[in-house]
Chain A
Amino acid sequence: MKSFLNWWPEDELAYSWRFIVRVAKRVLYLFIIFNFLYYLFQPLEIGRPTLYNGAIPGRVRMEWSPGGLESFGVNELRLSRLLADHAISRSKAENEYRVLFIGSSEIWGYFNKPQDTMPIALDRLSLFTSDGRMVRSYNLSYVYPNAIKDMLILNYVLSHGTYNTDLIVWVVNPKIFMPNLDPHWLEMANPELTVSMARQYGLSSQALDQVAAELEVPWWRRHSFLSERDDIAYWLLNQFYGLAWSTTGADLQFPDVMPRDQATEGEDGWNNQQPGAFEALVTMAGDHDMPLVLVSSPMAWEAPEYNRWLAERADSLGVPLLDCSELLSSDYFTDTHLHLTTEGHNLFAEQVALWLRPWLSISNAETNMVAICPSHD
């Protein structure tokens, strides 16, 4: 051991090829050992070190940093890291009632500031339960519509008891139930979680097969220091960006004007090709004795067939549903027929607040709000 550590002996300082080869070999061995130790201990997972929710406030929505847009965030794709930096990881107050929102970009707040999304607008309504607990909403949605991805996030939260959730609100739109030939990038970045969840709830698809293939690569290409160098860099960058986030409240700078996406939308592209995910998500909430409610997000087009199907499925599974699909006119949408303006998010939040009243026994919700969305309780 002594001779191994003493890798730069004085008598070999003179130049020689043998010496250089010896140094190179020892550097290689040390690097391999270091990588193996990293694989064994997974330092990014131990205590999930982060400045968020401590020195700086936690993020109010999941971080996402697309190319081309200025952002004070990075694409941290590991769920453990995403949630460690999120406000959901702060300790729960004694008089707090936690409501979690999962869904896609319309609830994540594409084209909106983090504070201008529906869950945060709901927070601003200062709702209380009948036993005096304050309702706090957490936006755990993530961009791109995909039911498996929503399941994955929910599964992580529910299987880690530290988040102490009280109610789950799943905000859905027709695109969530469209077929996904390729897996979501969150699934690819968390293959162990995705595969074990798929096995537990009997899910199978071509996309999930792709995720399972990720598990077949050797350890040093998955969880070594070498393979996780990007994760480490992103983790570090994200700590720095936390300073900017905490002082500006901004995470992603959208352009002032974004052209309206003219892609075909409506019922033509929709069909229920992920039926398993719907049922599995409801089962998952049931397995953890967690109340789950469904909210159909506002849309700028009519989809009667989808609405009917959704109401029937919710009814058969015994899940309460609030149908806000026809709540807003097209003026409340931004670049697509799903992404809402700030005002749209506020109106949406009022409807959700009114609808949640029976479940939460909300005592002091605004009395001048009028329920518009039909519900299927």
Chain B
Amino acid sequence: MAFIASVLSLWNNLGSGIVGIVISACMATLIYWILLPERVRHAGLLFFSIVALIASGATVWFILLVVTLTLATQVAGRQQNETSASFSPGLILISLIYIATMIVSLLWAALWIGEHGYPDILSLPLAWDILCFDLVLQSGILFLAWGAVICLFALALAAIEILRQAATADLRRVLGYFVVLSLLGAFIALKLQPLNLPGLVTWVGFSYFSFRLLHVLLDSFNGQFTNASPLEILVYALFFPALLIGPIDRLPRFLKDMRGEVQTFQWLYVVEGMTRILIGGVKKFFLADLLLSKLALGLTLSAHTQTGFAWVQLYAYALYIFFDFAGYTDIAIGTGRMLGVSLPENFMSPYLKPSITSFWQAWHITLSSWLRDYVFFPISRYLLQTRGRRHSYVILFLAHMTTMILIGLWHGISLNFVIWGVWHGAGLFVHKIFTDRTRSWQLYWQKHPLIGRVVDAVGVLVTFHFVMLGWVFFVLQNSTDSMIFMLRLFGISS
């Protein structure tokens, strides 16, 4: 076991990227479920986690040693200047946070054992299994980032507990806003990347982590989840299969799986999970990568300026981003399935939807439903209550725009993502007006199914091309390039 754990940890530490994480997930799942006899799973897993943590910790120490030596050399040689610095302050900061977290956790564990004696690990709930499993995987490639994230999580968890205990609603609200704003602040800071972190030290998974945590926090305002234990919330927030690219599960649904009988291991789960991972792998590593290799629109403009090629690039990108995203989601859902957790679906044939509204009900479903519940509904409800129904279209416009711009900014803080958000916000708003004004037409289409099908087909084509043109702002790095590309699409030379 120690050997396998070391190999897994080494694999992750070598920076094998998302592929490494996925492979590790599959390998570790199989090792966990198949190789370990049931009676010793808990014990083996705990051991497994500790070995991986030590391996990761050793790597951190090694990096710190290199950084310290580099610093010492530079100071000694009086050659320190901005351009020659080969270390990052962010690296040191995050490494220190990580190590501090480890030391505090070990001290806490030692104190707990001193007081209560060694725990009967076989009687621990299943949540511990998954938590330990998380630690194994996240101690690899994510170990540097997760030190800081775990600290943030500890803060949020404390806040949730305080919220539950808070005597007055005002205190709850003040505390809640403080924590939510802290998380959002951290999120914005990370998206702006002020620390200029090196490649390995990326805040992988923080976006999804924050959304899950914010969901718990926001619902805690209303007194929900009072029966969820801190451990269950921790497992929910850190559930590794959905960490990198979603889907954004909800705590009530997750708890059903956690507490239900489905947690008893079944070979069928592994079969189903592996099948789903295989399908996802084909989408991502075959179709998406095939499209990306030479055809799909990239971050910068191609030297080939032909209109036809611009369309080829855009079609290829539209298919690429779907297969890439849906493929990763399949892998996440499959990995979750192997653990007996049925993560929600995130894509339901979005490019075959006849309107932009139904597109957003089928594309990245868990994100759009999250924002619908926590941004769109609250804004529109508040404005309707304060401004009245006379301004319903203005309210609708504002709610759509705010929601879609937020989705844009969630992907990255840049003008292009704002334009992308406005593009979709405007599309949703126009579609709503169109639907309201053409109710008699829709009744006619319902009575004449053939005409209805033709209208749907036209709707699919229009929606797909609307979404596809929007990707121009999504993928290209700056708005000037996006405009040049748009002109190129319509045969206008820049």
Contact = CB atoms under 8 A, between A and B. Distances in A.
B124 interface: no
A281 to B, nearest CB: 36
B290 A237 contact: yes
A253 interface: yes
B288 to A, nearest CB: 12
Contacts of B308: 246-248
B33 to A, nearest CB: 9
Nearest to B305: A248
Contact of A250 (B267, B304, B311): B304
A244 B312 CA distance: 7
Contacts of A241: 294-295
B293 interface: yes
Contact of B295 (A243, A250, A253): A243
Contact of B294 (A13, A14, A244, A246): A244
A15 interface: yes
A185 interface: no
B34 interface: yes
Interface in A245-263: 246-250, 253
A240 B295 contact: yes
Interface string A64-92: 00000010100000000000000000000
A237 B312 CA distance: 15
A237 B295 CA distance: 10
Interface core residue of A14, A241, A244 (most chain B CB under 10 Å): A244
Contacts of A243: 295, 312, 316
B306 A72 contact: no
Contact of B267 (A14, A70, A246, A248): A14
Contacts of A247: 304, 306, 308-309, 311-312
A16 B271 CA distance: 14
B291 interface: yes
B294 A240 contact: yes
Interface in B257-274: 267-268, 271
A236 B290 contact: yes
A244 B295 contact: yes
Nearest to A236: B290
B303 interface: yes
Contacts of B271: 13
Contacts of A236: 290
Interface in A229-243: 236-237, 240-241, 243
Interface residues of B, number: 17
A162 to B, nearest CB: 30
A340 B293 CA distance: 31
B294 A248 contact: no
Nearest to A71: B294
Interface string B74-108: 00000000000000000000000000000000000
A25 B434 CA distance: 60
B158 to A, nearest CB: 42
A71 to B, nearest CB: 8
Contacts of B34: 15
Contacts of B293: 237, 240
Interface in B22-42: 34
Given A13-B268, A15-B34, A15-B267, A248 B304 contact: yes
A14 B294 CA distance: 46
A288 B494 CA distance: 54
Interface size class of chain A, counting residues whose CB lies under 8 Å from the partner chain? 10 to 19
Interface in A303-360: none
A155 B142 CA distance: 58
Contacts of B295: 240-241, 243-244
A237 B289 CA distance: 11
Interface in A1-34: 13-15
Contacts of A249: 306
A237 B294 CA distance: 9
Contacts of B303: 253
Nearest to B302: A248
A282 B291 CA distance: 45
B267 A244 contact: no
A248 B294 CA distance: 13
B43 to A, nearest CB: 20
Contacts of B291: 240
A248 B290 contact: no
Nearest to A20: B34
B268 A248 contact: no
Contacts of A253: 303
A250 B294 CA distance: 12
A250 B295 CA distance: 13
B54 to A, nearest CB: 31
B309 A244 contact: yes
Contacts of B268: 13
B323 to A, nearest CB: 13
Nearest to A247: B308
A13 B272 CA distance: 12
Nearest to B34: A15
Contacts of A13: 267-268, 271
Contacts of B312: 243-244, 247
Interface string B287-326: 0001101110000000110101101100010000000000
A24 to B, nearest CB: 13
Given A15-B267, A244-B312, A253-B303, 6 more contacts: A236-B290, A243-B312, A244-B295, A248-B304, A249-B306, A250-B304
Interface of A: 13-15, 70, 72, 236-237, 240-241, 243-244, 246-250, 253
24 contacts: A13-B267, A13-B268, A13-B271, A14-B267, A15-B267, A240-B290, A240-B291, A240-B293, A240-B294, A240-B295, A241-B294, A241-B295, A243-B295, A244-B294, A247-B304, A247-B306, A247-B308, A247-B309, A248-B306, A248-B308, A248-B309, A249-B306, A250-B304, A253-B303
Across the A-B interface, the 8 shortest Cβ-Cβ residue pairs: A247-B308, A247-B309, A248-B304, A248-B309, A243-B312, A15-B267, A248-B306, A247-B312
